[in-house]
Structure 1
Amino acid sequence: MLNKIKRKPWLKWAFITLVSLFSVFIIFFASIYFGAWGELPSSTELKELRQNRATEVLADNGELIGKFYVFDRQPITFEELPSHLINALVATEDARFFEHNGIDNRSLLRVLFKSILLQDDSSGGGSTISLQLAKNIYGRKDYGPLGIVVNKFQEAIIAKRLEDIYSKEDILKLYFNTVPFSDNTYGIESASMKFFGKHTSEINLEEAAVLVGTLKASHSYNPRIFPERSRLRRDVVLEQMGKYGYLTEAEVNEAKQKALVLNYKNYGHDKGLAPYFRAQIRKDLSKILDTLKNKDGKKFNIYRDGLSIHTTLNYKMQSLAEEALKEHLRALQKQHEEAWGKSAPWLTNQNIVKEALKKTSAWKKLATEGKSENQILEILNRKKSIELFDYDKVETRNISTKDSVAHYLKFLNAGMLAVTPQTGAVQAWVGGIDFRYFKYDHVSQSKRQVGSTFKPFVYTAALENGMDPCTYFSAREVSYANGWTPSNSGGDEEDPHINYNLKEALSKSMNTIAVKVLMETGIQGVVNQAKAMGINSELPKVPSIALGTASLSLTELTRAYTPFVNNGKTSKPFYISRIEDDQGNILAEFKPEISEAPSISETNRKIMIDMMKATVNQGTATRLRTTYGLSNDIAGKTGTTQNNKDGWFVGITPNLLAVTWVGADDHRIGFRNTYIGQGANSALPIFAKLMQKMNMDTSFNDITKARFAPISSEISEMLDCDPVKRDGFFKRLFGGSDKDKPEKEEKKEKKKGFFKRLFGGKDKD
């Protein structure tokens, strides 16, 4: 042979060339193998594979609410992979998967020929599941012209090592847990939950084929964006399953006839269920995790460590609460805009628009660049393409930044918090109308004047101070310090000779009587009572506090109402029950925080519930019965603030306490009139709609069918008095009116003797 080569020089050069090429190949391969192009993972590292895992936020029943992640990935076990999913993958991506050792030589030769000799990057594959797994885990780097070859060899080395370490079942598990799907989703469990709202173990044949089909091109075959294209790709996967004997021809044809049906659930930070709640969870976690360390002594990372955050949120109730709030606010927004018409402040008051404009990042950026106010206004008046929120649709319009600000000023916003009063466990949390466009959370961040929802604290303080519930007060107006004269809603002067007991006055939310009860009890006594029940904010020590001039958050007001349905004890709202690591070990656990001693006597608590039931049955909240047809056992209190800026409603049932607020984010923009802005019209319907929806679901029977304990005969006797009492002849003849008397004169009157008390027209009988 050697003599033959010597006699023919061309054979000699051909031999030298082949040996040289082979030597270069060996050296090139060795350089890759030994890490000259980048260090490859050792067998030891591969044995301890650990990928970034999304942290899950779970409802009280374990159902997934949302995730925190860089890449949306949630690993599962091999046993959770249905056989038709595995068959679909093998038939489509690697038909000889169970026969080769990580590298399919036949396919690899095809790829080498097309990729290297023909420079065809689209030749695909030749890639086995093991090779794809190597790529999924370690990605690819740019090595210039030789990049594709280097990456292929690196993947081949890693794939062979994986096959030596792991069984075929383990490789399938690792693959499904790391492979990228559409919409920035990593891993089959995340994809199954996102596109079909099911765990991987629950997806059927057609759904499995859809997901496997997206692996060829996750964007092009995204079933959310391109449903028809995705369906056709699904059918290709089904045909491949038939080709390799996993399905009969009849089964393939039957599956192809079925429609592509998604149950898409976005667990992104801005979308999906309970986005305001999840944002609050994320804030709290950053503080909680600062106090915890993992087994390596390092802090946990919510985006990488696969923690499980178990919460108290009721998944169904949260869904219904979001529906109820949005349904009502859509209709209320229309009322609001029609009532204002062309005189709306967001259209006519340029000062409001300008001040809102100054708060935008665009204004602040231009200001830091040294632009004058006129220059900034000129720039922000230029039209451009801007996406605008509306209830019916989100549309892109050609308008200026200034016009965009005016557009968002018109929107009413809302908040709702529902808790189990006995524990404080949060059941539903809705912080606004749409988290994508309104990030401000009206449950945890906002403080607004609470209006008449403060009155129950006034009446509770009065009862605790010894006032008889059958005490009567006239509704006539009285002037207090600085000439302040509260009046009742409607503006008509009350008959000065008609007196109302506490129950009737509270149910009708009479302002004049609430202030008189406050003054009779003492402002400090009312403040002390409110503080004892759970209000932490500073309360103004003025007569107007009786009408709710104090600004409180939804969470604070909710907390202060819990004693009414928790044996007089205050329950602090809480929503994280425990935090677990990725192995299920409990890192932190949280229990209800309930005050040790009651802040109300049991007798007075029951009296207050009876009085607030009257608010629903015959007072300011009667539309719960008349308009919404609710027959549930409900107590409650409406609230409306000055100039119709805020509407409130507190709904109380034996096992659920819900507080709702509605108003504009800009305090200077209120409702046009009381008819629209009163709490009974603006805030109450959110609670009403939620209760209607819950009444239709038997899983809520423990809430919807619960009844308040009947009052005892002793309490019944205490409340046994006419709601309204008219002054007798002598009182009408000699009593006169207290209207316009200053507060100090009213106090002097209390010190006068028998004849003055007999003929002087004192409010209290």
Structure 2
Amino acid sequence: MAFLLILSMLIYNGVIGYMPPVEELMHPRDRYATTIYTSDGVEMGKFYRSKGNRSYVDFEQMSPHLKDALVATEDVRFEQHSGIDVRAIFRSIIKRVILGKHSAGGGSTITQQLAKQLYSPESSGLFERALQKPIEWAIAIKIERFYTKDEIVKMYFNQFDFLNNAVGISSASWVYFGKKPKDLNVQEAATLVGMCKNPSYYNPFRFPERVKERRNVVFDQMYKAGMLTSESCAALKATPLILNEHKVETHEDGIAPYFREELRRILMADEPDSTKYSNINAYYADKYNWDNNPVYGWCKKNKRKDGRNYDIYSDGLKIYTTVDSRMQQMAEAAVSEHMIEAQKRFFQNECGSKFTDPYTRNPDEMSKATKERVINMAIRSTERYRAMKAEGKTHDEIMKAFDEKVEMRVFDYNAPDHEIVRVMSPRDSIMYMKTFLRCGMVAMDPRNGKVKAYVGGPDFKHFKYDMVSTGTRQIGSTAKPFVFSLAMQNGFTPCSTDFENSTRGFGKWQPKGGSHGLGLHPQLRDALAVSSNWVPPQILLRLGAPALVDALHNDFGITSKLDTTLTLALGSCEISLLEMVSAYAAFANYGQRPLPLMVSRICDNRGNVIAEFFPKLNQAISAESSYRMVEMLRGVVTRGTGRRLGAYNFKGDVCGKTGTTNYNADAWWVGFTPEIVCGVWFGGEDRYIHFQSTGEGQGAAAALPIFGKFLRKVYNSKELPYDENAKFIVPSDFKMCEDKIYDNEGGVVYEHSGDGDGEDGDGPHPDPAVAAEDQSAVNDMFN
């Protein structure tokens, strides 16, 4: 007895075995999945590691049948003991040792079982196994000192692994019955409690009859404990086992998977270290985000009370995003509808019967050597190639294996879940997947930068590369509004006519597409409307390409590398879609550019707010310049390259700009209303994959329709607070075209003599229907 007393004291004080400190017992390291929500309260998905799909549930959110069933079955004297049930231990010893009964029942209390779940790994050595039970006793006693009985039950159910990716009572209730824990009836509660004896043996999906028998044992125990009458017990035992199987969503399931993956990346981002970057421009981009975006690297910038950094995989955070679930579904639908139709045309017009050769057949654009190099690069980037290389296979052996046909799961728009099994070689499967065109689409509120919808590609499971944030492509003519805004900032107006529509001064570089119908000295608004390729470089000749680079970097938030050449005026640079949409928001928001905002607040697993995020805006251009840009970009829609939007019959102000790069490799549309700014990129995985016909591959045909479909769905919704009749508010004393324009030396380069009709005159006049306070606010902004 003295030996046992000394042993118990040594264990209790942590001299033998592991004894968690008081602080850890008071605040155990619970590992809960982080849940992501939309701005309208819809669950988007979760962040968790393997077997970590556990959500925190309060005791009050659990069905009372759960505790009754658990106590009756596992620990009928739960309310009387203080962690160890001595009576049950002796009863078990007598039955097993003296009477030789193998089904003598266990002596472990609910608290001991919890201690084992929390702190007792499987012991391997004989000595460790001998000490495991006494250690659990000691931990159980300490747990009882710090927690109430209901809290112990809550922790038990939140910790237990019910198999089938159902970790914790929240997941288990959903996986097996499609319910929340509070809604479980007594049969369902008894079924789950019955699993606690041995989840693998009592797996409802594999052994339903066995599970029903175990459930009925739980009913018998509840009857013995006085929780059921004999009649109700008999009636319950006669009921069939009814399961309602629900799949636990993976990271690939749910709405906005591209958005969630980008959110995961930026939340867990490390502080950029220039020595770890092979591309210095990538370092500068990440450093800019680290310094300016409080969400970027949030987990590494902030610590828990215990001094650890936050971990989205185990801290059970609740992240409330800015995405609207309804707008996200509309965006995904718009993308899907357009991509299916575009893909049909691409197969018919570009691929023919060669579904494994999507590349251009223009030898001037892509030689055979270039094609083979691109294909080999694609092969080398696959997991299959890297795995075979790690096994010691030679390059020739790997290439031979890539030509052997096997069964493969590949993407197909017409198949259930967009997946089909085909017999093809790995090489052909790579080429087959490349035949599918890609896209990116993002919408935000220009007034505050809140991202409302985010679609990074046609299907996250098969095309994980995100074309909203990660991918950068040449922006083509969507660069031109920045050039024209530079002119507005330097005193020119939409009516200015002093920039030639010619290539004079360009040197050897002679871009096509001067829009000869404009004449030699077109008004700037006409040049932008028809997307002249000559006027924008002429503006840079006058104002300087470095001035545009400075504006894009410092005012419009572009982090990509930009060359100070005239080609910048036509969009030779590569920029992400998200940065483009944020930059265009400055035109829609009276010159103020918002930083993209993806998260509104973060709560801990108890619902306490631990971080809030607010809009950040900077004045990119003056309010006067922004409204002049609104007027010109409205002209793109009403009489320019964006005229196809007329098919959607929008009633209010819609502005935007198309973009198309060489050989139709990239198609763009970035458009906005007073309430929404939205951008679309469309193209192939490689720039050699595209429509040959400009009629099919230009921005107006390939990208603009997604914007039109999305905005029409938004306006057709009666649930969303967007006004189809919304118009930009005009300042009271604003003149679209000033009387005189001066050059840098103070000389007059343009003198206005219009008649004020809104076409050649001083622009539209204030709308008398605009609320006085709104008009006053805009007037103040312009002043």
In the other structure, the counterpart of 1:356 is 378
1:77 aligned onto 2:58? yes
**Sequence identity (%):** 34
- The 1:570/1:398 distance shift into structure 2, 3 A limit, reads same
In the other structure, the counterpart of 2:721 is 701
Residues 570-623 of structure 1 show CA distances to partners (whole Å, capped at 9, x for unaligned) of: 22223344555567776655443322x4513x3332232233234334543344
1:608 aligned to which of 625, 629, 650:
629
Residues 355-404 of structure 1 show CA distances to partners (whole Å, capped at 9, x for unaligned) of: 31123344345557775543331133234454434343334555433223
- CA distance in 2: counterparts of 1:252 and 1:692, whole angstroms: 56
- The 1:238/1:672 distance shift into structure 2, 3 A limit, reads farther
* DSSP-derived class of the 2:17 partner: coil
Contact 2:715 2:722 in 1 (8 A): no
1:537 aligned onto 2:532? no
2:29 alignment partner AA:
Q
Contact 1:53 1:304 in 2 (8 A): yes
- The 1:255/1:718 distance shift into structure 2, 3 A limit, reads farther
2:720 alignment partner AA:
F
In the other structure, the counterpart of 1:17 is none
- The 1:260/1:381 distance shift into structure 2, 3 A limit, reads same
Worse-superposed segment, 474-483 or 345-354: 474-483
2:346 aligned to which of 336, 340, 343:
336
Q: What pairs with 1:291-330 in structure 2 (closer than 5 Å)?
A: 291-330=301-340
- CA distance in 2: counterparts of 1:709 and 1:240, whole angstroms: 73
1:282 alignment partner AA:
R
Q: What pairs with 1:235-384 in structure 2 (closer than 5 Å)?
A: 245=227, 266=249, 268-286=250-268, 287=270, 288=297, 289-340=299-350, 341-342=352-353, 346=357, 349-364=371-386, 366=388, 372-384=394-406
Instruction: Extract unaligned runs of 5+ from structure 1.
Output: 1-22, 724-765
- The 1:633/1:180 distance shift into structure 2, 3 A limit, reads farther
Shift of 1:486: 1.0
- CA distance in 1: counterparts of 2:358 and 2:630, whole angstroms: 44
1:482 aligned onto 2:508? yes
Q: What pairs with 1:28-67 in structure 2 (closer than 5 Å)?
A: 39=17, 41=19, 44=22, 47-54=25-32, 55-60=34-39, 64-67=43-46
- The 1:249/1:704 distance shift into structure 2, 3 A limit, reads farther
- CA distance in 2: counterparts of 1:246 and 1:680, whole angstroms: 70
Worse-superposed segment, 670-679 or 440-449: 670-679
Shift of 1:552: 0.9
1:572 aligned to which of 572, 578, 595:
595
- The 1:496/1:170 distance shift into structure 2, 3 A limit, reads closer
2:26 alignment partner AA:
E
In the other structure, the counterpart of 1:173 is 154
1:646 aligned to which of 643, 646, 666:
666
- CA distance in 1: counterparts of 2:626 and 2:324, whole angstroms: 28
1:484 alignment partner AA:
Q
Q: TM-score, normalised by structure 1?
A: 0.74
Shift of 1:405: 1.9
* DSSP-derived class of the 1:670 partner: coil
1:68 aligned onto 2:47? yes
1:432 aligned onto 2:448? no
Q: TM-score, normalised by structure 2?
A: 0.72
- The 1:168/1:530 distance shift into structure 2, 3 A limit, reads closer
Contact 2:659 2:698 in 1 (8 A): yes
Contact 2:19 2:135 in 1 (8 A): no
- The 1:123/1:407 distance shift into structure 2, 3 A limit, reads farther
Contact 1:477 1:486 in 2 (8 A): no
1:546 aligned onto 2:528? no
- The 1:368/1:213 distance shift into structure 2, 3 A limit, reads closer
2:630 alignment partner AA:
I
In the other structure, the counterpart of 1:132 is 113
- The 1:236/1:566 distance shift into structure 2, 3 A limit, reads farther
* DSSP-derived class of the 1:557 partner: helix
In the other structure, the counterpart of 2:780 is none
- CA distance in 2: counterparts of 1:81 and 1:329, whole angstroms: 45
- The 1:449/1:59 distance shift into structure 2, 3 A limit, reads same
* DSSP-derived class of the 1:570 partner: strand
2:345 alignment partner AA:
Q
2:677 aligned to which of 644, 647, 657:
657
Shift of 1:448: 0.5
1:592 aligned onto 2:615? yes
- CA distance in 2: counterparts of 1:220 and 1:688, whole angstroms: 55
Give the greater-gyration-radius structure (CA): 1
- CA distance in 2: counterparts of 1:586 and 1:141, whole angstroms: 37
2:694 alignment partner AA:
T
Contact 1:477 1:485 in 2 (8 A): no
- The 1:622/1:299 distance shift into structure 2, 3 A limit, reads same
Contact 2:438 2:685 in 1 (8 A): yes
Shift of 1:502: 4.1
Contact 1:567 1:598 in 2 (8 A): no
- CA distance in 1: counterparts of 2:92 and 2:308, whole angstroms: 47
Contact 2:659 2:667 in 1 (8 A): yes
- CA distance in 2: counterparts of 1:685 and 1:329, whole angstroms: 10
Contact 1:384 1:398 in 2 (8 A): yes
- CA distance in 1: counterparts of 2:101 and 2:687, whole angstroms: 66
Shift of 1:637: 2.0
In the other structure, the counterpart of 2:365 is none
Shift of 1:668: 2.0
- CA distance in 2: counterparts of 1:497 and 1:284, whole angstroms: 49
Shift of 1:569: 1.8
Aligned residues: 689
- The 1:174/1:476 distance shift into structure 2, 3 A limit, reads closer
In the other structure, the counterpart of 1:736 is none
- The 1:94/1:587 distance shift into structure 2, 3 A limit, reads closer
In the other structure, the counterpart of 2:751 is none
- CA distance in 2: counterparts of 1:249 and 1:75, whole angstroms: 32
* DSSP-derived class of the 1:481 partner: coil
Shift of 1:447: 1.2
Shift of 1:561: 0.8
- CA distance in 2: counterparts of 1:139 and 1:331, whole angstroms: 57
Structure with more helix by fraction: 1
Residues 534-568 of structure 1 show CA distances to partners (whole Å, capped at 9, x for unaligned) of: 33434344444333222111222122212112221
1:313 alignment partner AA:
V
In the other structure, the counterpart of 1:761 is none
Q: Please report the RMSD computed on the Cα atoms of aligned residues, expressed in angstroms.
A: 4.9
Shift of 1:158: 4.9
Worse-superposed segment, 135-144 or 710-719: 710-719
- The 1:136/1:560 distance shift into structure 2, 3 A limit, reads same
Shift of 1:474: 12
1:318 alignment partner AA:
Q
In the other structure, the counterpart of 2:767 is none
Q: What pairs with 1:139-158 in structure 2 (closer than 5 Å)?
A: 139=120, 141-143=122-124, 155=136, 158=139
Contact 1:559 1:572 in 2 (8 A): yes
2:508 alignment partner AA:
N
- The 1:208/1:460 distance shift into structure 2, 3 A limit, reads farther
* DSSP-derived class of the 1:181 partner: coil
In the other structure, the counterpart of 2:289 is none
Residues 620-653 of structure 1 show CA distances to partners (whole Å, capped at 9, x for unaligned) of: 3344442x45545432222222111112221312
Shift of 1:446: 1.4
1:418 alignment partner AA:
A
* DSSP-derived class of the 2:398 partner: helix
